[in-house]
Amino acid sequence: MPTNMNIDEERINTYPPPCQMPFTDSNTSSPKPDPMSLASADASSWQELAQLILQCLGAITLLRILYHAVDVARLWLLPPHCGIRRYYRPDAWALVTGSSTGIGLWFAWELAAAGFNVILLGHKLDELREAQARIEAHFPHVQTRILVMDCSKATASEINEHLRSVTDLNLTVLINNVGGVITHQSPRIKPLTDYTPEEIDLNISLNAVFMTHMTRFLLPVLASNRSGPSLILNMSSGAQEGIPGVSIYSATKSYITALTKSVNRECKAAGVKVDIISIVPGEVTSQTNKPAHGFGVIDARPYAKIVLQRAPAAAARGVMVFSPYWAHALAFWVMRVLPESIRLRAFVALVLRDRNVPTQDDTDTHSEKPARTTAR
């Protein structure tokens, strides 16, 4: 037990406390600060700072997760409130490229069902006429037009020339749907070095150049609508991740998404009321992808319906890249989080499988006509 005397001595010896040391003369005889206690004070303030940084990072991460969860819930769980009718006016027209068969035909069909007049664009007049006749028979109140163009060869001036005939219409929807893989001979799925120079040009033209000219020419027409927003819907593909064996197709699909994002931002920045969205499909059974294999396969008709139901709501909220079918979205998410070694094995398995799947064009005679196949 310390005596009173001891306590006083202790007080005198430790006065002033270390925190007041700067106010004392360094030459006085008062005791020097204990370097050990200063170091531990230093360490504890660093600890506090580290704790604060971690807490901030935790809060930011939590907010991000919450924001993402609300976003996902709004996109996937709430019923799409507007759908394609967001772009409907009494005399509205929609143009769909590659609409004689496949997903494009069903886009045109669903647009007609929603009351739009439709412009069908393709390269085979007989197929286009057949599609036109089916649509007109089913939707007698709907007007249709046909544009015949080879999207893998049409030049910018030819495209502009053809499109002049539709600029007087009240165009509110453009669907850049046409696309696929063009090869002159088997195998259809092959490394880049096996492509001929002509095949390279045709594939880039069909998938990237054509839709760029279409967008450039028709964007001002779509933007001139005063009565409400318009839509440009670009068909990309899960192949944009870079699937071996379809390198050019993959690259052009990635181009479509990048172009979509840039033009979308240009429009937003300029206050142009055109929604622009890149659609990323997985496996869809269509004219050239028949039969489709793998997880989340869906037929072209229900797929087109889902896209037109869900994409407008997403586009209206500023989403620029979207997989409207949940199974495709799930498959792409899993692919993204997998390590590259597993992803590579999955892609190689996909390529080996597709190399052996005959496409519609294999039943054609051995003509010089380029064959097409649709890769995912």
Binding interface with ligand NAP (CB under 6 A): 98-104, 122-124, 127, 150-152, 177-180, 206, 235, 237, 281, 283-284, 286-289, 292, 300, 372, 374, 376
Pick between residue 58 and residue 302 the one whose CB is nearest to ligand NAP.
Answer: 302
Pick between residue 79 and residue 291 the one whose CB is nearest to ligand NAP.
Answer: 291
Pick between residue 132 and residue 374 the one whose CB is nearest to ligand NAP.
Answer: 374
Pick between residue 272 and residue 361 the one whose CB is nearest to ligand NAP.
Answer: 361
CA distance 115 to 83: 13
Which of helix, strand or coil describes residue 373? Answer: strand
Q: How many CA within 13 A on the CB side of residue 25? A: 3
C-alpha of 292 from chain center: 21
Q: Which of 239, 90, 229 is nearest to 179 (CA)?
A: 239
Q: How far is the CB of 94 from ligand NAP (least distance, A)?
A: 15
What is the residue-wise DSSP string for 198-237? HHHHHHHIIIIIHHHHHHHHHHHHHHT-SSS-EEEEEE--
Q: For Cα atoms 253, 259, 265, give the angle at the middle one, nearest 5 degrees.
A: 140
Q: How far is the CB of 178 from ligand NAP (least distance, A)?
A: 4
Pick between residue 273 and residue 369 the one whose CB is nearest to ligand NAP.
Answer: 369
Terminal-residue alpha carbon distance, the chain: 85
Q: How far is the CB of 295 from ligand NAP (least distance, A)?
A: 12
Q: How far is the CB of 128 from ligand NAP (least distance, A)?
A: 8
Pick between residue 89 and residue 129 the one whose CB is nearest to ligand NAP.
Answer: 129
Q: How far is the CB of 177 from ligand NAP (least distance, A)?
A: 5
Structure tokens at 217: 């020419």
Q: How far is the CB of 290 from ligand NAP (least distance, A)?
A: 8
Q: How far is the CB of 338 from ligand NAP (least distance, A)?
A: 20
Pick between residue 233 and residue 272 the one whose CB is nearest to ligand NAP.
Answer: 233
**Residue linked to tokens 């269509």:** 286
Which of helix, strand or coil describes residue 340? Answer: helix
Q: For Cα atoms 190, 279, 204, give the angle at the middle one, nearest 5 degrees.
A: 40
The single-letter code of the amino acid at 47 is Q
